[in-house]
Amino acid sequence: MAIPQSGATVSLPAQSTYQSRVADYWNAEENPVNLELGKIDDLYHHHYGVGDVDWSVVDEPDAARRQQRVTAELHRLEHAQAELLASHLGPLSPADRVFDAGCGRGGGSVVANQRYGCHADGVTLSTKQADFANEQARARGIDGKVRYHHRNMLDTGFETGGYAASWNNESTMYVELDLLFAEHSRLLRRGGRYVVVTGCYNDTYGRASREVSLINAHYICDIHPRSEYFRAMARHRLVPVHVEDLTPATIPYWELRKTADHLVTGIEDAFLDAYRNGSFQYLLIVADRV
Ligand code: GPP
Ligand code: MG
């Protein structure tokens, strides 16, 4: 490999090889646990759930009906997670604009639009997800306000200071936090709100546990330690106003998901073991852009 001489222009690819592999994963992804849940009300989420499980669903005697009820219960818990995140974005007006970093098939931006009537821009590395999400927005008649883009969340090209709120819902483990928070900080107006829900490894346990490493391998991601969120936010004018450990609230979702033979992906035990052995936490951080 030639080493560029001092002053020579080095051309960098817009998307790294790693990002291309991540895009390949999401372009190919068709897990029933995402599609079957989404079909219920055309809200397609790519995150987990929070809240108490209605365990009566597993006692349903009719097998087909039991599957349907378990699917609906998991969707209810995922939707509750999306609503919890959205509840921290406001207050917002219909004139405000929000940024959904790592939007998947688009559910989170729809939830924000339904709650506040706001404009939303979602970005994903997957063209398939962006196309799917835009089609959903068209079908709902909200495509004038909710738009999805095939873009890099670290370098969106969107307007500086143009956003009243922004978030990452389980997408920070694909990126360097310093680069990510620099972009959120650039996009948010002064006094804007940033929200993240994430799985992080627990500094008090030590380094990434075996289970955390299994989760990394499964999704091709790189889970950060809890401490790194606060260090990186502080470096980028994002000041936490609310921090909540959602671990106890998400364990029931995984317990139910583990019983769902028609939906499991094989990663359920890694999440349950990681949460229970204290090596992994499900965290909500709300921060103000100052
Ligand atoms: C998956 O959503 C979430 C991630 C890929 C990020 C990893 C999250 C952590 C908290 C570590 P999904 O709904 O697409 O996944 P699944 O197919 O397993 O339901
Ligand atoms: Mg899912």
Domain membership flag for residue 12: no
Q: Is 170 in the pocket of ligand 1 (CB under 6 A)?
A: yes
Residue the block writes with tokens 């989760």: 215
Counting ligand 1 atoms within 8 A of each CB, the residue from 31, 46, 280 with the most, and so the one to mutate, is 46
Residue 1 confidence class, pLDDT cut points 50, 70, 90: very low
Domain membership flag for residue 215: yes
Domain membership flag for residue 1: no
Residue 130 has a pLDDT of 98
Domain membership flag for residue 246: yes
pLDDT mean over 31-49:
98
Give distance in angstroms: CA of 47 to centre of ligand 1: 5
Nearest-CA residue for ligand 1 atom 11 is 199
Residue 14 has a pLDDT of 78
Domain membership flag for residue 225: yes
pLDDT mean over 57-63:
98
Residue the block writes with tokens 């996009």: 187
Q: For 20-34, how does the pLDDT look when each residue is reduced to its tens digit (9 = 90+)? A: 999 999 999 999 999
Q: Do the Cβ atoms of 43 and 102 come closer than 8 Å? A: no
Q: For 260-277, how does the pLDDT look when each residue is reduced to its tens digit (9 = 90+)? A: 999 999 999 999 999 999
Residue 166 has a pLDDT of 99
Residue 12 confidence class, pLDDT cut points 50, 70, 90: low
The pLDDT of residue 63 is above 70: yes
pLDDT mean over 133-146:
98
Domain membership flag for residue 151: yes
Number of domains in the chain: 1
Residue 224 has a pLDDT of 98
AA letter at 80 = A
Region for residue 123 given its phi and psi (left: phi exceeds 0; alpha: psi -120 to 50; beta: otherwise)? beta
Residue the block writes with tokens 């929200």: 195
Q: In what order do the strands lie in the sheet with 188-201?
A: 146-150, 119-124, 97-101, 163-169, 188-201, 280-289, 238-245
Rounded CA gap, 188 and 252, in Å? 34
Instruction: Give the chain's mean pLDDT.
Output: 96
Residue 99 has a pLDDT of 99
Give buried/exposed letters for 81-90 (b at 16+ CB in 10 A, else e).
bbebbbebbb
Q: Is 158 in the pocket of ligand 1 (CB under 6 A)?
A: no
Nearest-CA residue for ligand 1 atom 6 is 170
Nearest-CA residue for ligand 1 atom 13 is 46
**Tokens matching residue 273:** 């073991």
pLDDT mean over 216-241:
98
Domain membership flag for residue 11: no
The pLDDT of residue 71 is above 70: yes
Residue the block writes with tokens 């990510």: 180
pTM (two decimals):
0.95
Q: Do the Cβ atoms of 284 and 235 come closer than 8 Å? A: no
Domain membership flag for residue 104: yes
pLDDT mean over 129-133:
98
Nearest-CA residue for ligand 1 atom 14 is 46
Residue the block writes with tokens 């196309």: 131
Q: Residue 75: give its domain's CATH number.
A: 3.40.50.150
71's CB contacts (< 8 A; 6+ apart) are 36, 37, 40, 260, 262, 263
Q: Is 160 in the pocket of ligand 1 (CB under 6 A)?
A: no
Residue 104 confidence class, pLDDT cut points 50, 70, 90: very high
The pLDDT of residue 3 is above 90: no
Residue range of the domain that includes 248: 17-289
The C-alpha angle 86, 51, 247, rounded to 5 degrees, equals: 90
Give distance in angstroms: CA of 34 to centre of ligand 2: 5
The pLDDT of residue 282 is above 90: yes
